[in-house]
Amino acid sequence: MHIPDGFLSTPVWATLDLAVVPAVGYFARRAQGLEQSKVPLLGVMGAFVFAAQMINFPVGVGTSGHLIGAALLAYTLGPAAASVVLTAILVVQALVFQDGGTLALGANVLNMAVIGLLAGYLPYQIWGGGRWRRPAIFLGAMLSVMVSALLALSELLVSGVAMPATALRVSIGLFMIYGLLEGAITVAVLGALESMNVGFLRVPEASVSHRFKWVGLAAILLATFGALIASAYPDGIQRLTSEIGIGSHGRLRISTPLANYEAAFFQSGWLRKAAAGVAGVVVIYGVCALGGRILGRQRGK
C-alpha cells in the first residue's frame, strides 16, 4: 500500500506533502490533553501495528498484503491519537526501512493515517455502541483499506500512470480481498484485547493495564518470527506497477542499514529480518510514547 518515490508526478506529491501537514497538525491538537497513564498504550499499540505490518499474507495469485491497522488504532486510541501514531509509523518506515517514498510520504500519510483512518472509524462511530458493533468494526477496517487503496490508485492516475482497465479491475478486486482480511484480523485482535481487559473499547479510562504488556510481547514475537511465515509475494501496488511496466521507476532517495526490514550486518536471512524487526518495535514504541508524553503535557496550556 506504500507508494514508493518515482511513481507520483511532482505536482501530485508536492501538493499532498503540503496538504498533510495541517491535517496531521489538526489531529495532534485534538489529541492534546492525553492522560499520562495512557501514554504507554500509544507505544504498545504503535509497536504492535508496526510488527503486524511486517507480515505479508497472500491475497491472490502472486500478490500479498499486510495489516494497515488504521481502524485498529482508531478503535483503541481514538481517531486523533491514532492518526498521530500511524503517521509516526509511516515516517519511521520511510526514513529507516525505506518502505514507501520520502517524497511520497505525504500521499501515504494522507491515504492511510488521515482519510483512510477516518473512513475506517466512521462505521464504528455510527454503529459501534449497539448490537451492530462487530459488523461495524469489520466494515470500518475493510473500508479503511479500500479508501486508502482507491486514493493511491487515483493519485497514480492523476500522475499520468497509464493503467489498462483489466489491470485496474484486478487490482481493485485484490484490494477488496485485502480489506476482508483486514476486517477479520481487526475483529480478532480487538476480541483478544477485550478478553484481556473487559470494557477495553467502551471505557477508555480502564484501558491501561499491566496485562497489555502481553501486547508488547506479541509485537516482539511478531517482529522476531514473523519473517518465517510472511509471504514473499509483492503487495498490490508493487504488483500493479510491475504489471503495467513501470516497476523499475521506483527510486530510493536515501540508504539505511535497515533497508527492506533487514539488518545488513548479519549473515543469516532470518536474523537480518528479526534484528530489524525488533529494532523497529523499539523505535516505534519510543517515538509513540514520547509523542504521547508531549501531547499530554499540552493539557494545561
CATH of the domain at 91: 1.10.1760.20
Task: Give the pLDDT confidence score for residue 205 in this predicted structure.
Answer: 45
Supply the pLDDT for residue 207: 46
Max avg pLDDT among 183-187, 243-247, 266-270, 289-293: 183-187
Within a domain: residue 262? yes
Q: Is residue 296 part of a domain?
A: no
pLDDT digits (tens, 9 = 90+) for 226-236: 988 888 888 88
pLDDT at 201: 64
Taken as a whole, the chain contains a residue count of 301
Identify whether 21 is part of a domain: yes
Q: Which three cell numbers stand for residue 106?
A: 505525504
Query: Is 251 a domain residue?
Result: yes
Average pLDDT, the chain: 88
| In the predicted structure, residue 34 carries a pLDDT above the cut 90 | no
Q: How confident is the model at residue 200 (pLDDT cuts 50, 70, 90)?
A: low
Confidence of residue 86 (pLDDT cuts 50, 70, 90): very high
Q: Sign of torsion, CA 30 13 2 167?
A: positive
Other residues' Cβ atoms within 10 Å of the Cβ of residue 205: 9
**Single-letter residue type at 233:** Y
Q: How does residue 211 score in pLDDT terms, banded at 50, 70 and 90?
A: low
Least confident of 78-82, 98-102, 125-129, 247-251: 247-251
Q: How far apart are CA 133 and CA 31, in angstroms?
A: 24
Lowest mean pLDDT among 51-65, 85-99, 151-165: 51-65
Residues 208-215, mean pLDDT to the nearest whole number: 68
Q: How many domains does the chain have?
A: 1
What's the confidence (pLDDT) of residue 210?
60
Q: Tell me, yes or no, whether 31 lies in a domain.
A: no
- Mean pLDDT across 14-40: 90
Please report which confidence band the pLDDT of residue 206 belongs to, taking 50, 70 and 90 as the band edges: very low
76 and 41 Cβ atoms separated by less than 8 Å:
yes
pLDDT reading at 153 higher than 70: yes
* pLDDT over 60 at 204, yes or no: no
Q: Which pLDDT band, with edges at 50, 70 and 90, does 44 fall under?
A: very high
pLDDT at 150: 96
Q: Would you state the pLDDT for residue 81?
A: 94
Q: Choose among 186, 158, 156: nearest CA to 172.
A: 156
* pTM for the predicted model, two decimal places: 0.93
Whether residue 245 has pLDDT greater than 70? yes
Q: Which domain holds residue 121?
A: 10-25+47-283
The answer to whether residue 258 sits within a structural domain is yes
Q: What is the pLDDT of residue 209?
A: 54
- Residue 186 makes CB contacts below 8 A (sequence gap 6+) with 67, 71, 72, 75, 137, 138, 140, 141
pLDDT in tens, 158-168: 999 888 899 88
C-alpha torsion 34→40→41→46, nearest 10: 110
195 vs 25: which has the higher pLDDT: 25
> Does 121 reside within a domain?
yes
Is 299 domain-assigned?
Answer: no
The percentage of residues in the chain with a pLDDT greater than 70, rounded to a whole number, is: 92
- pLDDT, position 17: 97
